[in-house]
Structures are given as C-alpha cells and as structure tokens.
Amino acid sequence: MTGFHVILSKCVSMSAMSRRSARRDVAIRILMAAIGFAPVTALAFALFGDADLRVTVAVLVLPGVAMLAELLWLKPEYRTIAISGFIFGLIAVTIYDAFRVPFILTGVWGDFIPKIGIWLVGDHKAHPLVGYLYRYIGDGGGMGIAYVAIYPLLIRIFAKPIASGLAYGVFIWCGLMATIALAPHGAEELFPLTPVNVTLSLTGHLIYGGVLGALMGNARARALTHADATRALRFSDSP
C-alpha cells in the first residue's frame, strides 16, 4: 500500500469516527432536552390524565434527574451545557415574572402556580413556595437546559440567537395553549383562554425565550456550551 493510500485510509477512518461522534453528540443533546422538559411534561400529563402530579413527577422527573446526573458524571464535557442552561433559565423566568407579577397583583391575570404546590404536597392547603420552586427549578431551569442543549440545532434553522430564543418561547407557549384547550380541566386549573390571558401569556413566553436567546448570543456563553462547534451538525451533511 502506497503512502497516499495509507493517508487516504486514515482520513476515511477519521471521517467515520467524526460522524459517529457527531451522531452521539446530537443524541446526548436531545436526551438532555427531553430531560429538561420532564417537569412541564409531568404537569401536562397530570392535567390530561387527571392524575396525581406526585405520580407523574416520580415517573418522569426523578428518573430524568438521575439520568442527567449520571450523564454529567460520565460525560463531564456536557456539564457546562447543563449548568449554563439552568442558570439562563432561572434568569429568563425571573424576568418573565417581573412582567407577569404586576398583572397578577392587580387581578388582571390569575396565578395558578400556587396550585402546583397544592398538587405536589397533597394536603389541599396553599403552598405557593413549593409551586414557585417547581416553576423556577423545574420549568424555568429545566427548559433552559433544553434550549442550550439543542441550541446548535436551533441556530442552524433560525440563524440568529434572538430569533432562535423567540421561536423556542413560542413553541413552549403553543404547548401551554394546547394543554389548556385540550385537557379536561385545563382552563379551570390553569387559566381561561381569554384574549387578555392569551396575549399576556404569549408576551411572557416571548420574554422568556428572548432572554435565553440574548444570553446565548454572548460569545463566552457559546464557548462554555460548545455551541459554536460544528461537530454536532456535520453528520447531517454527510451521505
């Protein structure tokens, strides 16, 4: 075998390894996104199936958290993705609530978050702290992890970080609207789909997604989360 053929063989082998690595990276990112959506999915399943939220959390969220912990232990290069996403999600949901709370205090928009605390504790007493912890840590932080995990895929579609964040916010909002509209007691347990409520909730989710996009627009954030690396996308261009 000539030197040229040896070099060619090595290049082909490296290319195959790169494609396998890219596929593995995408699979891990999608798994992280699914885990990030587990808390809001557990809430939706509880509403659709008239099930106990504690049961859906035990079935979906707790195994997801354990799986994520094991993943980050075995694959430390993904830790910055999870940590950054969680922090970005907390920042985004805090800014969302800065917009939302005045409408709640004035009675314009009802607040269903304390109900989550009631469903989780199960004693039919108000537990707003528990509800808001679930909102921030589970929903806000979890979906922040999901966004950062799949950001390299989103940016391929939407080109700009803000656009990808806004689209992500609309996607989440559509899921909320579908849950309220289709779940047997969705409007009763969450909020009725009045023009005011729909507009305010859409605005809030645009804020949430827009903040995520703005945070990922920072070069240091992209570096920390490996978002500028093309290895997660190369395989899709290969035969």
**What are the residues whose beta carbons fall under 8 Å from the beta carbon of 214, sequence distance 6 or more?**
161, 162, 165
**Residue 5, in any domain of the structure:** no
Q: Six-digit token pair at 140? A: 């806000």
Q: What pLDDT is recorded for position 223?
A: 74
Per-residue pLDDT of the chain (239 residues; tens, 9 = 90+): 555 443 434 434 445 446 777 788 889 999 999 999 999 999 999 998 767 899 999 999 999 999 999 999 999 989 999 999 999 999 999 999 999 999 999 999 999 999 999 999 988 788 899 999 999 999 999 999 999 999 988 988 998 999 999 999 999 999 999 999 999 888 988 999 999 999 999 999 999 999 999 999 886 777 766 765 544 444 344 44
172: nearest Cα among 78, 69, 41, 70: 41
Q: pLDDT digit string (tens) for 124-158?
A: 788 899 999 999 999 999 999 999 999 988 988 99
Residue range(s) defining the domain that contains residue 197: 12-233
Query: What 3-state DSSP class applies to 1?
Result: coil
**Residue 239, in any domain of the structure:** no
The count of structural domains within the chain is 1
Distance CA 19, CA 32 (A): 20
**Residue 6, in any domain of the structure:** no
Q: What pLDDT is recorded for position 129?
A: 94
**Residue 7, in any domain of the structure:** no
**Residue 131, in any domain of the structure:** yes
**Residue 1, in any domain of the structure:** no
Helix pair 141-158, 38-49: axis angle to 10 deg: 110
Asked if 94 and 78 touch (Cβ cutoff 8 Å), the reply is no
Q: What pLDDT is recorded for position 238?
A: 40
**Residue 211, in any domain of the structure:** yes
Distance CA 194, CA 116 (A): 22
Sign of CA dihedral 153, 159, 160, 164: negative
118: nearest Cα among 45, 52, 184, 193: 52
**Residue 141, in any domain of the structure:** yes
90: nearest Cα among 142, 25, 12: 142
